[in-house]
Amino acid sequence: MEATVTTGTEEKVWGGGNQPLSVSYGKMMMWFFIVSDALTFSGFLVAYGFSRFKFIETWPIADEVFTHFPFLHGVDAPMYYVAFMTFVLIFSSVTMVLAVDAGHHMKKSKVTLYMLLTIIGGAIFVGSQAWEWANFIKGEYGAVEMKSGRILQFVDANTGERLAIGDFAKPVHSDRETHTANEGVWFNSESSLPSHSIEEVKAGFEANPNIVVRTEKLDAEGKMTVLSRADSEERMKQAIMVVEGANLVHNEYGNRLFADFFFFITGFHGFHVFSGVVINVIIFFNVILGTYEKRGHYEMVEKVGLYWHFVDLVWVFVFTFFYLV
């Protein structure tokens, strides 16, 4: 039959169940989704690069922003935490591919175990990211923002150490209170006031002659420029508000676009990890229920595996472009 290319085979070609690229429909569509999602992520990362090139001389230094490690308070630990997160994700990728491998051999108990490990790894990663976000939003030292929207951070002129605004702010009597909805003439309110007002920070700055400021501008070595006391005083006249931590509008670490991109890129990736964990849980229960045993193959595990590896793949790039480069 096969040698003669006649009507018989043509019916077979268009009759369905044909795999010209030796991939099943489901797997191929998962791949095409991954390609389009990869382009979405590259759009994000390239936009980050665009903004960074635009403000190349004032872009915050990731090493100085992400310095926390759980249970090590006040210890300067750049990168270690992200490195830990990267390992968690790579390892959960390994357990995922082991699950796929076990699925090829129809070993149900092994697939179950490896899927469970993958889910745990994913959950640890999402939790770590939440912790990283919490630290970033909370901030560490605090800073003041000038009229131009630029940030001034405080440094001890003698030691060169960073100073938190709480270290030197001088209490100034003020009747200013957080405006809440039940007190106004109309039902609007404001977000909570910073722990120290701009007047307190300015008074503290004037009382301590050994405090200088540093600006966003990076010097030849890629460090933020520390100004002299006279220049610092000049600059402090422009200060209009206290910034603690980072959000979409203000960022104590420097350029606010940095915070925006951090929230959008790691947030979008974290959302992918979260959905990956949810899908993995569904597949995990299907494995336990024996759905794929009955079906005769574990291809569903392979498909979610592709998605899971893709999430890992994206993280490899986010890690490089956000934290390393």
Partner 1 sequence: MAHAHESNSKRIWTVFGILSVITIVEVALGIIKPESMMALVLGMKILNWIFIILTLVKAYYIAWAFMHLEGEKGSFRWSIVLPLLILIPYLAFILLVEGNYIHDVYSQGYISWDF
Residues forming the site for partner 1 (CB under 8 A):
19, 21-24, 28, 31-32, 34-35, 38-39, 42-43, 46-47, 49-58, 63, 78-80, 83, 86-87, 90-91, 93-94, 96-98, 100-101, 104-105, 146-148, 150, 215-217, 238, 297, 299, 305-306, 309-310, 312-313, 316-317, 319-320, 323-325
What's the N-to-C CA distance of the chain in angstroms? 60
Closest approach of Cβ 255 to partner 1, in Å? Answer: 10
Tell me how far, at minimum, the Cβ of 216 lies from partner 1, in Å. 8
CA angle (8, 12, 14) in 5-degree steps: 120
* Minimum distance from residue 109 beta carbon to partner 1 (Å): 16
Other Cβ atoms less than 10 A from the Cβ of 176: the count is 8
- What is the C-alpha to C-alpha distance for residues 255 and 248, in angstroms, rounded to an integer? 11
Least distance between partner 1 and beta carbon 113 (Å)? 14
Strand residues in the chain grouped as ranges (E): 143-146, 151-156, 162-163, 211-218, 224-226, 239-243
Q: Are 215 and 152 in contact (CB under 8 A)?
A: yes
Nearest residue (CB) to partner 1, 169 versus 314: 314
The residue to which tokens 């100004």 are assigned: 227
Least separation in angstroms between residue 83's CB and partner 1 is 4
Nearer to partner 1, 50 or 285 (CB): 50
Residue 66's closest CA among 9, 128, 21, 127? 128
Q: Give the whole-angstrom CA distance, residue 42 versus residue 29.
A: 20
Is the CB of 181 or the CB of 240 nearer to partner 1? Answer: 240
* Closer residue to partner 1 in complex, CB, 164/306: 306
Residues 6+ apart with CB under 8 A from 7: none
Judged by CB, which is closer to partner 1: 126, or 152? 152
CB atoms within 10 A of CB 33: 13
256 Ramachandran zone, left/alpha/beta (phi>0; psi -120 to 50): alpha
Minimum distance from residue 228 beta carbon to partner 1 (Å):
16
For partner 1, the closer CB: 90 or 207: 90
For the purposes of burial, counting CB atoms within 10 Å of the CB of 197, is it exposed (0-12), middle (13-18) or buried (19 or more)?
A: middle
Q: How far is the CB of 252 from partner 1 (least distance, A)?
A: 17
Between 34 and 164, name the residue whose CB sits nearer to partner 1: 34
The residues that bridge with 314 in the sheet, in sequence order, are none
